[in-house]
Amino acid sequence: MSTVADIMDELQDRIPQERIGSLFPAINRAIGLLSKRLYLLDSDLIIGDLEVDIYAQQTYTASSIAFVDGKSEAVDTITDTASQFVAEEFDVDMPIKTNCAGNEGPFRITAVAVGTLTLSADSSVTAQAAGSSYTITSQNDFGYLPDDFGGLIDKPYVVGYQYPLEPLPSQYVKMAYLSSTGVNTGTPTYYQVKGGKLHIIPATGSDIVIGGDYYKKPVKLTMMDDILPFDGMLDDALAEYLLQVLAGGVSIADDSLKILLYDAVDLIAKKRPKKAAPKVPRGIPWGDL
């Protein structure tokens, strides 16, 4: 696997020092253009293995629960002086909601300790001391998609099952599974992608993993030791692009650079898929003997 530093080791003597500051904007634009072209060609270079955890519903009620605003610490937490979170089977990436006014959620758990649930950076709580009885309930009808999720290639499936999930055909179908307390539990049959979440209908009664294949969006590079995408197959195109922009002073929006990248993709991506012979050769032609 190559890194940004590997490419710069090859180019550093050819790039003016004052232009090094433009390195990451240029390389991220190039990777974005390459990814779009690879997406258009259904290339395996941007395919990832989908693994979405969806948990059975857990419910915990206690007067020892408190909500802690992390403020300068940047992450908020839910604490329990009775230290029951692990015993109650709360887990990382589990979505939860509560009956505490102002802290209903949903929240995403990023770390679990016996007395602390650490929440994701986009989960914000209002400080609330322990003393009143609060209930924490996990949600069993969706899980979180990978941060680099760009779209499904085919239907996802429940790992261990022998059939794929079907796209939710209509809201009427979804409503048939709804109850006053949420989505009824059963064998997952349908799926729906909404934002960064993968919903299943009906909800699950046990811990499951949703598998499948998906298109990966490029991750923004910010450090010299960040690994380049595309399995090293397009490193030469990235190097040439950077040389043109940083040494040659060519605008990153120049059409010739886009053509350079697209030509590199077309040369490789169209040859990578492994295809069977269009027609299986016959065995011994007994009928002709």
> What local confidence, expressed as pLDDT, does residue 183 receive?
80
pTM of the model: 0.84
Please give the pLDDT value at position 36.
Answer: 93
Average pLDDT per consecutive 10 residues, the chain (289 residues; last block may be shorter): 89 84 92 93 92 96 95 86 96 96 94 96 92 95 95 95 95 88 88 96 96 94 94 93 87 86 90 58 55
What CA–CA distance (Å, rounded) separates 85 from 118?
11
- Nearest alpha carbon to residue 143 among 18, 64, 55: 55
Taking the C-alpha atoms of residue 96 and residue 81, their distance in angstroms, rounded to an integer, is: 19
CA distance to 123, 205, 231, per residue, from 84 (Å): 21, 22, 44
Domain ranges of the chain: 4-47+216-269, 59-138
Task: Return d(Cα 206, Cα 56) in angstroms, integer.
Answer: 4
Q: What is the rounded distance in angstroms from the CA atom of residue 145 to the CA atom of residue 199? A: 10
Q: What is residue 280's predicted lDDT score, i.e. its pLDDT?
A: 52
Residue 98: predicted pLDDT = 96
pLDDT of residue 248: 81
Closest CA to 184 of 167, 203, 205, 158: 203
The predicted pLDDT at position 275 comes to 52
Report the candidate in 275, 218, 246 with the shortest Cα–Cα distance to residue 20: 246
CA distance readout (Å), 41 to 33, 37, 159, 191, 250: 13, 6, 28, 26, 27
- Amino acid at the residue 30: A
pLDDT for the residue numbered 273: 65
Output the pLDDT for position 189.
96
